[in-house]
């Protein structure tokens, strides 16, 4: 079998490499010449553990080639972005264009798979109308399915192999052919269903997380009223065998969890109330965090003030800043008239105008340290070695050891804890 992968990003490239490493002839396609070069010259344009070695092997053995236009193949895999527009509606233009681009190359007997996370019905409403233009009979001449990825950045290769997969076909045969293909490297179970259900399942999984995090954030906002430490309360609640409350924080980032629920809001309208409110609750956290920071400074009679933000990545131990709540928290802080200096050991280049390349530089004349990301480096800091203008720290991820910071003379504040 030969496979043509359209879209060589965070999902498409690892998937292409994986098939190529398992003896499948793969051709990668991307409209971005830099992504194509990353295969031709084995120069990565994205970072992922284990990707470079696997890419080298695939290219050296001649199983992986690339260009900016598609080629004929037995299977086409579409893995392009499906972002949201500023008005929170789904932007399916990339899916449409990618599908249109393969139309001249699709032949009788081919299988077309959509991997991108999309609103339910995208295969039916966006892909099929394009594929009809091949003149082939959909479902008998060509097969179509949705096989969403479910991997977490940083552990993509492990999860590509071991996670269960949900495969939804426009008919049974489409689903079965897709299962057969992924069995090339997937060791997890492959569950078969219809395309729309598979689309919903993927979006549902991320929405579940978003709603659960919103619940935690709502409780965190109520901590002062309730006079509790919400982290402690969540820890105890989670000892219940059927309870799994997620954790509060300065916001929800990344390109999945903060995006996918909007697909359901768009489709559900008035009916998608909990999902809509949860999204808004999570989106309100950067402002809440900034206001809390200012309130702490006010209580300490510090007017204006300088904030040392620790953490720009959207979550702990990744180098990814996309949709990071930190960016918004910083904007809100600046809006309140505060000066901001930031530091993130995982973001190597200067990707933010407030960024410094050392902890010392960020903290030296700061009035408060604001922790926004739970990087292991931050957890390992010895607060005795950190010098600031005022010894005040605000931990929004419950990742610092309160006792050791207090022993080092810091006034310690925790998001969602009334006992600050
Ligand atoms: N977060 C909280 N509280 C929590 C958990 C997370 O505030 O209790 C925040 C994080 O700090 C981060 C954001 O949520 O800003 C998202 O982080 P994440 O680790 O939950 O998710 P992602 O975006 O890295 O990956 C998710 C995964 N989905 C699920 O776990 C259901 C992954 O499996 C998907 O493949 C990926 O989305 C995707 O591509 O859809």
Catalytic residue at 202?
A: yes
pLDDT tens, 122-163? 999 999 999 999 999 999 999 999 999 999 888 999 999 999
Q: What is the mean predicted confidence (pLDDT) over 337-366?
A: 94
**300 and 168 share a domain?**
no
Sheet containing 143-146: give its strands across.
64-67, 25-29, 2-6, 75-78, 111-114, 143-146, 165-169, 190-194
**290 and 189 share a domain?**
no
Output the pLDDT for position 49: 87
Output the pLDDT for position 46: 78
Output the pLDDT for position 313: 95
Number of domains observed in the structure of the chain: 2
Q: What is the mean predicted confidence (pLDDT) over 187-194?
A: 98
CATH of the domain at 349: 3.40.50.720
Closest of 186, 220, 166 to residue 415, by C-alpha: 220
The answer as to whether 183 is a domain residue is yes
The answer as to whether 218 is a domain residue is no
The answer as to whether 254 is a domain residue is no
Q: How far is the CA of 51 from the centre of ligand 1 (A)?
A: 21
Distance CA 115, CA 1 (A): 18
Reported pTM:
0.94
Distance CA 170, CA 164 (A): 20
pLDDT tens, 230-248? 999 999 999 999 999 999 9
Q: Of 142, 172, 193, which one is at a domain's C-terminal end?
A: 193
**188 and 292 share a domain?**
no
Which is more confident, 154 or 286? 286
Distance CA 157, CA 279 (A): 30
Domain of residue 29, residue span: 2-193
The answer as to whether 81 is a domain residue is yes
Residues lining ligand 1, CB < 6 A? 117, 149-153, 205-206, 209, 213, 246-247, 249, 252-254, 256-257, 314-315
**185 and 308 share a domain?**
no
Residue 355 near residue 362, CB atoms below 8 Å: no
Q: How far is the CA of 398 from the centre of ligand 1 (A)?
A: 17
pLDDT band (50, 70, 90) for residue 365:
very high
Tell me, what's the ipTM? 0.96
Q: How far is the CA of 257 from the centre of ligand 1 (A)?
A: 6
The two structure tokens encoding residue 30: 């991307």
* Residue owning tokens 């057969």: 180
**188 and 313 share a domain?**
no
The answer as to whether 74 is a domain residue is yes
The two structure tokens encoding residue 326: 């930190």
The answer as to whether 174 is a domain residue is yes
Alpha carbon separation from 133 to 106, 136, 139, 229, 231 (Å, rounded): 10, 8, 14, 59, 55
Select which of 221, 256, 287, 292 is catalytic.
Answer: 256
Distance CA 63, CA 23 (A): 7
Q: What is the mean predicted confidence (pLDDT) over 60-85?
A: 97
Residue nearest to atom 25 of ligand 1 (CA): 152
Catalytic residue at 379?
A: no
What is the helix, strand, coil percentage profile of the chain, to 5?
40, 15, 40
The answer as to whether 226 is a domain residue is no
pLDDT tens, 44-61? 877 788 999 999 999 999
Q: Of 193, 219, 238, which one is at a domain's C-terminal end?
A: 193
Q: Of 150, 177, 193, which one is at a domain's C-terminal end?
A: 193
- Ligand 1 pocket test: pick from 154, 260, 315, 316 the residue with the most ligand atoms within 8 Å of its Cβ: 315
The answer as to whether 420 is a domain residue is no
């Amino acid at each position: 079998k030969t496979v043509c992968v359209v879209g060589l990003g965070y999902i498409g490239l690892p998937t292409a490499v994986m098939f190529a490493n398992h003896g499948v002839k793969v051709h990668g396609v991307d409209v971005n010449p830099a992504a194509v070069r990353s295969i031709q010259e084995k120069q990565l344009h994205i970072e992922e553990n284990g990707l470079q070695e696997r890419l080298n092997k695939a290219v050296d053995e001649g199983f992986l080639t690339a260009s900016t236009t598609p080629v004929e193949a037995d299977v086409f895999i579409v893995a392009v972005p499906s972002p949201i527009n500023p008005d929170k509606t789904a932007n399916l233009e990339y899916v449409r264009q990618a599908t249109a681009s393969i139309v001249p190359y699709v032949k009788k007997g081919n299988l077309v798979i959509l991997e991108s996370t999309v609103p339910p019905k995208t295969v039916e409403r966006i892909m099929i109308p394009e594929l009809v233009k091949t003149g082939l009979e959909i479902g008998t001449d060509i097969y179509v399915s949705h096989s969403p990825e479910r991997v977490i950045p940083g552990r993509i290769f492990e999860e590509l192999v071991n996670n269960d997969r949900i495969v939804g076909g426009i008919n049974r045969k489409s689903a079965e052919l897709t299962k057969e293909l992924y069995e090339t490297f997937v060791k997890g179970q492959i569950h078969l269903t219809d395309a729309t259900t598979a689309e919903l399942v993927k979006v549902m999984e991320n929405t579940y997380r978003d709603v659960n995090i919103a619940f935690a954030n709502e409780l965190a906002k109520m901590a002062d009223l309730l006079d509790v430490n919400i982290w402690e309360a969540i820890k105890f609640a989670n000892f219940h065998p059927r309870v799994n409350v997620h954790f509060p924080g300065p916001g929800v980032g990344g390109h999945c969890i903060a995006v996918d629920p909007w697909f359901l809001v768009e489709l559900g309208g008035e009916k998608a109330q909990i999902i809509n409110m949860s999204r808004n609750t999570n989106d309100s956290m950067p402002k809440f965090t900034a206001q809390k920071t200012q309130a702490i400074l006010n209580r300490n009679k510090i007017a204006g003030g300088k904030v040392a933000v620790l953490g720009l990545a959207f979550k702990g131990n990744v180098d990814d800043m996309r949709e990071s709540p930190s960016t918004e928290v910083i904007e809100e802080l600046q809006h309140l008239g505060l000066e901001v200096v930031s530091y993130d050991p995982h973001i190597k280049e200067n990707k933010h105008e407030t960024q410094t390349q050392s902890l010392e530089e960020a903290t030296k004349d700061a009035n408060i340290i604001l922790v926004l990301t739970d990087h292991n480096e931050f957890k390992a800091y010895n607060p005795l070695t950190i010098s600031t203008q005022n010894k005040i720290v605000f931990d929004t991820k419950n990742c610092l050891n309160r006792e050791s910071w207090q022993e080092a003379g810091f006034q310690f504040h925790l998001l969602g804890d009334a006992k600050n």
